Amino acid sequence: MQSTDLGNKESGKIWHRKPSPATRDGIIVNIIHTTSDYLPKVLRFLNVAFDSSGDCLLAGDHQGNIYVFDLSGNRFTLVQRTAQACTALAFTLRRKTEFLVALADYSIKCFDTVTKELVSWMRGHESSIFSISVHASGRYAITTSSDTAQLWDLDTFQRKRKLNILQSVGIQKVFFLPLNNTILSCFKDNSIFAWECDTLFCKYQLPAPPESSSISYKVFAVTRDGRILASGGKSNHLHLWCLEAKQLFRIIQMPTQVRAVRHLEFLPDSFDAGSNQVLGVLSQDGIMRFINIQTCKLLFEIGSLDEGISSSVISPHGRYIASIMENGSLNIYSVQALTQEINKPPPPLVKVIEDLPKSKPTSGDLKMKVTSRRVQRPAKSRENQTQTRIVKQDLTGKSENKENELSDGLNKKRLQILLKGYGEYPTKYRMFIWRSLLQLPENHTAFSSLIDKGIHVAFLNLQKKYPIKSRKLLRVLQRTLSALAHWSAIFSDTPYLPLLAFPFVKLFQNNQLICFEVVATLIINWCQHWFEYFPNPPINILGMIENVLAFHDKELLQHFIHHDITSQLYAWPLLETVFSEVLTREEWLKLFDNVFSNRPSFLLMTVVAYNICSRAPLLNCNFKDDFEYFFHHRNNLDISVVIREVYHLMDTTPSDIHPDSMLDVFVALTKGQYPIFNQYPKFIVDYQTQERERIRNDELDYLRERQTVESMQAEVDQQKVEDEAWIQKQELLQKAEETRREMLLEEEARVIQQRQRLAAVKRELKVKEIHLQDAARRRFLKFQQDRREMELRRLNDEIERKNFTRNQEAVAKEMREDADAYRRKVDLEEHAFHRLLETDETQNQKTQKWEEAEEKDFCLKLEKKASALSDASRKWFLEKELDDALEHAPHLYDKVAPRCQNEEVASSCLPQSSQLNDFSEVGSSTWSSLNQRKIQWDIMERDLIERVRNLRRRLTAQARSRCQTPHLLAT
């Protein structure tokens, strides 16, 4: 039985070799799902369902992982992770890639196996769904829980109808009948109703079962044609109903071991037109029994008390049975293998009488079959079984035939006759014959456990010692040697094991299990006593070979002794390489056809025969190197001659030196688990293992220290490199800094020179500017001074003119007025004179006084008029000067610039925009010039005031002179 662990893989092969289910159990493959977490555990499968073709299987575990198993394509694929336990599955929808899954949260989901996407999500149930039934068309589905059943349209994923019932009644199952539109509903009170699918009209109700055989119905099954309904429950009785007649037509009583029925399902048959006759009955003991409902005979059964079944599903075409075991694994059964005994043809009526064998058994052959000398060998644990078989000798030859019969139905005696006739087995059937001769158990689980242990530490660096061009061949050899080392500790220290196993690895590289079991069988049988002198070559085996060679060819042995050639040179290289170095592939296969077909001593006799058949070239060898080359390279030797010589030696060698006397008979590997191999000096192996482990630990310590030193050295080297890089970088930076400094110094020198030149230019410009400004200032001052002088002259002239005119007019007026007054006065005086003449002298004195007062008053008025005239003249002059100054100041540049332009000094007359920043320099000169102008104006004002005063004095003097004139005239 093959076993497959899904593990954490999302896809892979279901089986790794072509399944060959046995008739007794019919198991194709056992599928388990384990996790590789910190605490490994088995994930239990809960539900399975086949598709409409019957070649694909859907299975879900209690963690919500749903796998599709393609039995025809030998592939499995993880299609969904629902993260919830699935309670029911359906895989017969109209769209072949879609399936329905009922989850623990009472919902139904539809997924696609190709895209792995969610198609739809349906809700409506309030309790766990335990059944999904799909219509034959794949369009409708019925989901059933304990309290309700709901009809769904799978095209729209909408609920069409809902069946509500009383809680006290309860639903057992609601499902579609095959090939029609009838829905069958079964309730806990054993009532069964049939409904029309489209209208949901009740078509009929089955009558109640008889009280004498009342069963509490739990499970139901219907034939493919929908005519017969099988019901079962808590009883060993089964009720068969005819749905056409609507009556119970048969009650079947199961064996007494059956106390309750857990599942019912009819086994489809391609040739019964849907009227299935075989019913599978799963009982409480975990065994599913298949019975014929017509003959009521038990045909076959699956499961056992140790490995019970919890549920089963049969494929629509009736080829496979998928069963969920009580341990949570999934078994796939082949119905063809289970029904092989049932369906085999009847025995022929004609019997043929066989003739007696022509060759009579000789005394030598009789001794060989009885193997009485076996008693002389030390008793071993496995000899008791074989000894019992051999001691019971049957003169009629029954025991001989039993011994020669192989597990696959082949007869070893006939194979030997065929081998002697043709010299080798047919190439097409060689591997099959070898597996039959060696009786390989094909323990997949045990071999997988050895492989799962990984590559043994002894063969991690196998490619260094044995460089093989093919990487695949190297990996297979490495795995095979590792499996042997995990099987027995001696093989991890056996230096010649790769040479021994390599030809078989190359031959069986596509089937590692067969390769391992062939090598293991070879070691157990044909390599007996090889490890008793470990780690040295098997001296005892080499002694046997030397004794046989001494008996059959003393001359050749004497030649070996003469040239100091021991059996470790002429025999051991052939044994440790199993002749793979000295034979071609075809010769080697031909040789091992004979080795595997004979007793274990045949291989040792082959060594002797190879030396005897090569005696001519060996006798011509005189040097040790020639002997070594001969036994490690191919030679011109016919292997058929060697094989004939081996058979001759097997028959003519005396029993006292024959290797059979010291070797056990062939023993095959045990089934299930491989036998313990401890035929070696355990203390030496343990000591070597301990020493090797110590050396390995020392080496690991050394490697760790070396790695530490190397890492430290690497760090030192890295630090050194970094330091050198840093120094180099610093040097480059320093050079760059010096270069930059030189560039900066040059730049600074150039800037200083430029600044010096600029300063010189500035000084020159400043001097020129000062000169220009001085020249302009002098010209401006001169012009201003000339203008002022001219203005002053004009003003003076104007003042003098106006004063003269005004004075003339005033003087003329005054003179006229004085003349008039004088005439009037003269008249008055004449009049007064005449009056005075008439008055006395006193009155003449008063008149004199009046005249003096009047004269004083007149002089005072003249002085006031002269003072007012002087003040008005001064005020007018000052206002005129101020107005002229304000008028000429804004237009100073306009008046001066044309002159400056003519003299090419216009730019220097007033400060330019570039010279506004030098305000301190220009401003000082401007303020000094303004101060000088102010001083000049003050001087001119004082001169003017002085002139006015002088004029006033003159006018006063004139007035005084005029005032004195009347008196003179009067006098």
Which is it for the CA torsion 687, 693, 697, 699, positive or negative?
positive
632 compared with 811, residue with greater pLDDT: 632
pLDDT at 902 over 50: no
pLDDT at 916: 37
pLDDT at 4: 87
Provide the token pair at 933: 């102008």
- The answer to whether residues 60 and 79 touch, using CB atoms and an 8 Å cutoff, is no
- Cα–Cα distance for residue pair 45/299, rounded to 1 Å: 28
Domain boundary assignment for the chain: 412-682
pLDDT-wise least confident of 322-326, 842-846, 863-867, 959-963: 959-963
- The answer to whether residues 239 and 213 touch, using CB atoms and an 8 Å cutoff, is yes
pLDDT classification of 655: cutoffs 50, 70, 90: confident
Long-range contacts of 619-623 (CB under 8 A, 24+ apart): 619/555, 619/556, 619/559, 621/563, 622/563, 623/563
Collapsed DSSP state (helix, strand, coil) of residue 220: strand
755 compared with 381, residue with greater pLDDT: 755
pLDDT at 494: 84
- Cα–Cα distance for residue pair 262/221, rounded to 1 Å: 12
pLDDT at 380: 35
pLDDT tens per residue across span 141-179:
999 988 889 999 888 888 888 887 766 678 889 999 987
672 compared with 273, residue with greater pLDDT: 672
608 compared with 720, residue with greater pLDDT: 608
- Cα–Cα distance for residue pair 649/603, rounded to 1 Å: 11
Which is it for the CA torsion 828, 833, 834, 838, positive or negative?
positive
pLDDT at 349 over 70: no
pLDDT-wise least confident of 434-438, 681-685, 745-749: 681-685
Mean pLDDT of the region 736-752: 86
Provide the token pair at 526: 């044909």
DSSP label of 120: E
Of 188, 178, 246, residue with least CA distance to 219? 188
pLDDT at 58 over 90: yes
pLDDT at 89: 93
- Cα–Cα distance for residue pair 768/540, rounded to 1 Å: 130
291 forms bridges with which residues in the sheet?
279, 298
pLDDT classification of 749: cutoffs 50, 70, 90: confident
pLDDT at 959 over 80: no
pLDDT at 212: 66
Task: Indicate the pTM of the whole model.
Answer: 0.42
Nearest 5°: phi and psi at 496?
-95, 5
pLDDT at 37: 63
Nearest 5°: phi and psi at 103?
-110, 170
Provide the token pair at 535: 């780690």
Provide the token pair at 95: 């769209």
pLDDT at 917: 42
- Cα–Cα distance for residue pair 44/31, rounded to 1 Å: 11
pLDDT at 362 over 50: no
pLDDT tens per residue across span 174-212:
999 987 889 999 988 888 999 888 888 888 889 888 776
Q: Token match 């019925």: residue?
A: 142
pLDDT at 835 over 80: no
DSSP string, 840-895: -HHHHHHHHHHHHHHHHHHHHHHHHHHHHHHHHHHHHHHHHHHHHHHHHTTTHHHH
pLDDT at 394: 36
* pLDDT over 70, % of the chain: 79
pLDDT at 90 over 90: yes
pLDDT classification of 378: cutoffs 50, 70, 90: very low
Collapsed DSSP state (helix, strand, coil) of residue 323: strand
Mean pLDDT of the chain: 79
**What size, in residues, is the chain?**
971
Domain 412-682: assigned CATH number? 1.10.472.80
Q: Token match 């007019």: residue?
A: 809
Q: Which of 372-376, 617-621, 687-691, 915-919 holds the top average pLDDT?
A: 617-621
The residue type at 200: L
Residue 144 Cα to chain centre, angstroms: 42
